[in-house]
Amino acid sequence: MRLKKDTNTLSQYFEHQKSFTTNDVYGFFSKTQPDIKRATVNWRIYELVRQGSLKRIGRGTYELGQGNCFLPVPTKKQRNISSRIKNHFPLITFCCWHTSALKEFFQHFAVYDFLLVEVERETIDAVFHFIKEAHKNAFKEPSRDIMENFVFDGKDAVIVKALISEAPLQYADAVAVPTIEKILVDLVADAEIFFFLQGHEILNIFESALGKYTVNTDRLLRYAKRRNKKEELQEILLQINGKKKE
């Protein structure tokens, strides 16, 4: 009963705010309950997020309503390769995703189709040769020239590359896939592979992704820092926010 009341009153209080912080929520509850403890407020926030009344968009930052998670459905080939890697290398951390997942962020732009398999760096050679046995059109950390002359001209290409430690991952149909934050950072950081999506196209992708899905900016920037791209990602976010204010 209290949770429903909290939901209704919070919705009314913050309905005209795009986002608000933990301190804002604490201030809201303090108006009617001056002696309320921060631990109690933190627990109420946890409950509200869990039941979908709030969505966390960053560390200590929230919006009203349920978050919209980006979780693309794995392709048949993606599931097959993931299963084979799991069986042959049961102890390694890896993820795989197909570039077709990007197509919803474009209206008039063709995205090249290929599958990316990202594995721990110390296992990259072993996994690459394992995949190469079944998929001849496989490439290990290709340069731009290789991408243009072989990957794009071939069919059903598989790219094997190193997985950055602590990369944000999630699961779809038991397949480890990157979160939207990881994909957005990788599009910038892996310019050799995604050279066809640079410049203005990157802004379009970010703007579309941020408009359709809940993007945790803290997670995005933490991963960007691990890839030495934090300043570039901050600049992209500033540009998009600037466009929204115009």
**pLDDT value, residue 18:** 81
**Side-chain-side CA neighbours of residue 177 (13 Å):** 21
The reply to whether 162 falls in a domain is yes
Q: Is residue 112 domain-resident?
A: yes
Residue 31 lies in a domain: yes
Q: Is residue 71 part of a domain?
A: no
Residue 178 is predicted with a pLDDT of: 96
The reply to whether 218 and 177 lie within a common domain is: yes
* Residues 53 and 81 grouped into a single domain: no
Asked whether residue 151 is assigned to any structural domain, the reply reads yes
**DSSP reduced 3-state for 60:** coil
- The stretches in the chain having pLDDT less than 70 are 1-5, 7, 50-51, 66-67, 107-110, 242-246
The confidence score (pLDDT) of residue 17 equals 84
Radius of gyration of the chain (CA): 21
| Cα gap 94→59, rounded to integer Å | 26
Whether residue 117 is found in the same domain as residue 51: no
pTM: 0.77
24 lies in the same domain as 111? no
109 and 26 in one domain?
A: no
Strand partners, 118: 95, 161
105 Cβ contact partners less than 8 Å away, ≥ 6 residues apart: 204, 205, 208, 209, 212
**Are 174 and 60 within one domain?**
no
Q: How many domains does the chain have?
A: 2
State how far the Cα of 29 lies from the Cα of 41, in Å rounded to an integer.
8
One-letter amino acid at 90 equals: P
Sequence-ordered list of residues with C-beta below 8 angstroms from that of 88, at least 6 positions apart, any chain: 130
Kindly state whether residues 9 and 101 are assigned to the same domain.
no
Report the CATH number at residue 15. Answer: 1.10.10
The residue whose two tokens read 């050799």 is 192
pLDDT at 142: 95
Residues 107 and 219 in one domain: yes
Give the pLDDT confidence score for residue 199 in this predicted structure: 79
How far CA 220 is from CA of 56, 143, 213, 225, in Å, comes to: 13, 25, 13, 9
Question: Within this chain, do residues 36 and 91 fall inside the same structural domain, yes or no?
Answer: no
Q: Is 82 found in the same domain as 46?
A: no
- Look up the domain containing 149 and give its range: 76-245
